[in-house]
Amino acid sequence: MHRIFRASFASVYPHYVTKVEKKGRTKAELDQVIEWLTGFDETALARHLAAGTTFEEFFADADLNPSASLITGVVCGIRVEEVEDPLMQQIRYLDKLVDELAKGKAMDRVLRV
């Protein structure tokens, strides 16, 4: 089991916020991306952050967006569409969306609409 599975989502979330804000994006846009991917609303996302939910628990509770399979590309030298472990792939999907947001992609392109 990879150690990121047991890491709390709340411990990584501030790094996502910092990454997107450094590039001129907002926490609200980040939350929109996370909510699109996971199916959580604002309240559910806040609950997971407050509870210190692990990535494993976070994605187990998520209702992954059917369009998530359209997320392709490379994160940390690994093609997200080729990741075999379903949980790791979901985490990489999130990483890829955060990267795209930070790189200034239009929100409709990030959200695959």
Within a domain: 110? no
pLDDT digits (tens, 9 = 90+) for 71-96: 999 998 999 999 999 999 999 999 99
pTM of the model: 0.94
The residues, any chain, with a CB within 8 Å of residue 84's CB and separated by 6 or more, are none
Within a domain: 15? yes
Within a domain: 113? no
Nearest to 36 by CA among 60, 8, 63: 63
Segments forming the whole domain that contains residue 78: 3-105
Q: pLDDT tens per residue, the chain (113 residues)?
A: 688 999 999 999 999 999 999 999 999 999 999 999 999 999 999 999 999 999 999 999 999 999 999 999 999 899 999 999 999 999 999 999 999 999 999 999 999 98
Overall domain count for the chain: 1
